[in-house]
Structure 1
Amino acid sequence: MKAVGEQPMSIQDSSDYVIAAKPSKVRYVVLAMLLVATTLNYVDRSALGIVAPGLSKSLSLDKMQMGELFAAFGLAYSFALLPGGLLADVLGSRLAYALSLVGWSFATLTQGLANGYHMLLGSRLTMGALEAPAFPSNARSVTLWFPAQERGFATSVYVMGQYIGTPLFTGLLLWISTTYGWRSVFFVTGACGILFSLVWYRLYRDPHQHKTVNAAELQYINEGRSTGVQKAREKFNWRMALQLLRYRQILAICLGKFCNNTLLVFFTTWFMTYLIEARHMSMIKVGIFQALPFLGATAGILVAGSLSDFFIRRGVSVSAARKAPLIIGTLLGASVVFVNFVESNAMVIAILTIAFFAQGIGSMSWAAVSEIAPRQYVGLTSSITSLAANIAGVTTPLMIGYITHHTGHFYWALNLMGAICLLGTFSYSIFLGKLSRIEL
């Protein structure tokens, strides 16, 4: 019973009470879904590399054909990056991601039905094109769900999906391949993606449409958005893209990202074949050893941000602090050549773990891009540099396939990757120069 003289709670008081309540944590559920989706993304694109030794024998495919199949994904993905980003903007993350997930998962599944090179090629091209909306949808979701001060953390969490899926699931997928045949790997991974697309569509909503997010969390997200007057989004045009490519800093980062990404592509395509055919490891050893380089790369990503912040706290300029991880990581990535000079499989895995750890450090180029991009063309600059990085998804598999087909071993392929890392080091340390905002 209401006490005598007690005033009824006004609408404003009720609103203040709700706002004062503890913010809900729905954004972390969304982040967990983004991590799962990104993990599935990379497991699906890596599945061909996992079963490549058995698949190539079963379908009588040579090394050049396998290289072309690996490269087909990167080719389609690169061309579809811009349309994929536009699709995420037009349809929103919920629908765009669901369609992308179910589409690339069906394309993954059809690889298990392939009876030869051409059907596999069509499946890989389709999968590459349909995965393109995934990362733009990730970025859009993080921007909507996380305040500015938490976006760096959120981005690093879902980016880890690129690296943790392989060590977590490769052992299982190798066992499935050995027990039930290589086709079953594509059936399992494709089916998982299709099921998760339903989960995503059922659970995901933008913040203002989500039923379980409370007013306090919405206020926290909104208060943490970038302040200031936002300019209208610039429309994409090829003339401006060509103008940006006239700047030395952008060309340097494009070249550096391409060189650094070469190592990542090797580990997601030819790595299993190298362990089995060049190092003559058993499936059991491969299942155990393959995880270590990917865990190293995950640690590299986490170290990179801390390393850059450490330099800034020590009074180092922003330019030098942002460049240091890129130079150190890309240079250390050249250590991959040392596997050509050791016999011990344990030493081989140790060297590859160091090289992939370095690749993770060197992948922190997004921070450098944010320092140089014209303020009205940050998105366009990011797209250009991302496209340059993804070209490695085409050239690396073809390069390794051609060399191993004509030489019968990986010796010169690994040496060439080391030389590419040195080229990237030159680009970041000398060609890039001092980081400064480009003013148009």
Structure 2
Amino acid sequence: MTDTDVAPAVPAGLPKAPGRTSPRAWTVTALLVVFMMINFADKSVLGLAADEIRHDLGLSASAFGLASSAFFLLFSVSGAAVGLLADRIRPKWLILAMAVLWSVSQAPMVVGGGLAVLITSRVLLGAAEGPAFPVAQQATLSWFPDHRRNLPGALIALGITLGVLVAAPVLTWVIRHHGWRSAVAAVALAGVVWALLWLLMGGEGPYAAPPAGSDGRSGAPAGAQPSAGTVPYRRILATRTWIGATAGYFGTYWVIAVALVWLPSYLQDALGYTSAGSTRLVMLVWGLGGVVVLGQAGLTGRLLQRGASSRWARGGVGGVLLLIGAAACLALPAAPAGAMTAMLLVAGFGFAGAMSSVAVTTVTELVPADRRGGSLGIMNAVVTTAGLMAPTLTGHLVDTHGAEGYRYAVLITGVVLLLSGAAALTLIDPARDARRLSS
């Protein structure tokens, strides 16, 4: 699945996009896929070790939900702040700093401590990881013109899926044989190794914005998109496309947060799966999510090649996928136990994941290069508030209603996806809003 060439959007007076993508572009993309894998392995540790952590630290479901949501306390704020910085500071150095801070923030949990240490460590980890996805996308997409961004953008989103797919069996084994603190140590070490590789091979491509203060000629690589810095952020954030992309992505992130923190417990405590059986279903959920992300990239590229507008090729495809996930989640609580429940669970959580890459490529198409980091960072800040709300709400429902609380959580997830999908379908239209921004 590759993005086939449609009419390249190369501004007049600038060199045409190169006929072939450079090998380094794919090297940087591969590194950033691994970056996102480590990012979500960090996030998934608590969900995979939920029962062990609750038993070890004597936590109720509400307390554990609070600790999980603490990860998102500064996640959104740092995502917006660092996103704005990414329009002024080279993303290479921001990404390096994030990777180092991930590992440092997890050290207290490796050494020991109780609930206070767990919460503090997760708050710091969340602050370090908040900007990861938008800045990684910004760095990746700086290597590709707009008509070739669907696949690399989807690959970065695929790193989310791959991170959980790799983490689920590997970290489950580590937790079972060496304890949950050893699993935390393993992902922290992976972050250190990755940071060394990025220092040697990372960087931005020819479609990055010129450095702040540049005249648009000196310091700007050949082929970079020209600055349109006169467009204020408030106008970008008021566009229907930005709002629709953000709303759609919010639904995706709600599903991600619930799946990371509560899916293993839901499968074991409410549906009666064994630890091994729940791990297999978790991998199926994330595996389908990866297939859907890549399928969306291929379908979007084909639609764009045939002349479809981004309104339908991106907003339409992403919105429909969210609605499929919504239908499955809303049907799940009433389904008979067994294979039907498993199928609806996998579909409900798996189809909802593609909007992350759709939202990023949509906003990147809409905004000028020197507003890309801030626009993506603020979008990520709004979206990831779902990570603050969903785990806490689910924990409260489980404490209040027992296993029945999971059913209510799934129904709420279905409603969130329904609203998000409707917003993506009705609001996203980058061409329309780009014209309004340029007027």
- TM score, norm. by length of structure 1: 0.80
Runs (5+) with no aligned partner, structure 2: 1-19, 207-219
- Secondary structure of the residue aligned to 2:171 is helix
CA–CA separation in structure 2 for the residues paired with 1:427 and 1:150 = 25
Instruction: Report what 1:357 is aligned to.
Output: 350
Tell me by how many angstroms 1:88 deviates.
Answer: 4.5
Asked whether 1:369 is paired with 2:367, we answer no
Contact 2:134 2:377 in 1 (8 A): no
Contact 2:75 2:131 in 1 (8 A): no
Contact 2:87 2:373 in 1 (8 A): no
Deviations 1:145-170 (A, max 9, x none): 45655444323222211111111231
Flag the structure with more relative contact order, 1 or 2, with Cα contacts below 8 A and sequence separation at least 6: 2
Please tell me the residue identity of whatever aligns with 2:259. Answer: F
Contact 2:245 2:428 in 1 (8 A): yes
Deviations 1:24-79 (A, max 9, x none): 73333322221211111110111111111210121111121222222222231100
Contact 1:301 1:361 in 2 (8 A): yes
Tell me by how many angstroms 1:331 deviates.
Answer: 0.8
Asked whether 1:402 is paired with 2:400, we answer no
Asked whether 1:332 is paired with 2:324, we answer yes
Asked whether 1:296 is paired with 2:292, we answer no
Asked whether 1:120 is paired with 2:113, we answer no
CA–CA separation in structure 2 for the residues paired with 1:374 and 1:417 = 34
CA–CA separation in structure 1 for the residues paired with 2:203 and 2:363 = 30
Tell me by how many angstroms 1:358 deviates.
Answer: 1.7
Which of 50, 57, 69 is matched with 1:71 structurally?
69
- The alpha-carbon distance between structure 1 residues 351 and 116, as it changes in their structure 2 partners (threshold 3 A), is same
- The alpha-carbon distance between structure 1 residues 91 and 388, as it changes in their structure 2 partners (threshold 3 A), is closer
1:2-401, aligned counterparts within 5 Å? Answer: 25-88=23-86, 92-146=90-144, 150-204=148-202, 225-226=223-224, 230-231=226-227, 233=229, 240-242=232-234, 244-312=236-304, 316-334=308-326, 335-363=328-356, 364-370=358-364, 373=367, 377-401=371-395
Instruction: Report what 1:421 is aligned to.
Output: 417
- Secondary structure of the residue aligned to 1:270 is helix
CA–CA separation in structure 2 for the residues paired with 1:88 and 1:254 = 19
Tell me by how many angstroms 1:248 deviates.
Answer: 4.5
- The alpha-carbon distance between structure 1 residues 244 and 283, as it changes in their structure 2 partners (threshold 3 A), is same
Please tell me the residue identity of whatever aligns with 1:127. Answer: L
Runs (5+) with no aligned partner, structure 1: 1-21, 209-220
CA–CA separation in structure 1 for the residues paired with 2:164 and 2:335 = 25
- The alpha-carbon distance between structure 1 residues 198 and 78, as it changes in their structure 2 partners (threshold 3 A), is same
Tell me by how many angstroms 1:222 deviates.
Answer: 6.0
- TM score, norm. by length of structure 2: 0.80
- Secondary structure of the residue aligned to 1:400 is helix
CA–CA separation in structure 2 for the residues paired with 1:295 and 1:307 = 18
Which structure would you say has the larger Rg? Answer: 1
Aligned-residue CA RMSD (Å): 3.1
State, as a whole percentage, how many aligned pairs show the same letter: 23
- The alpha-carbon distance between structure 1 residues 97 and 426, as it changes in their structure 2 partners (threshold 3 A), is closer
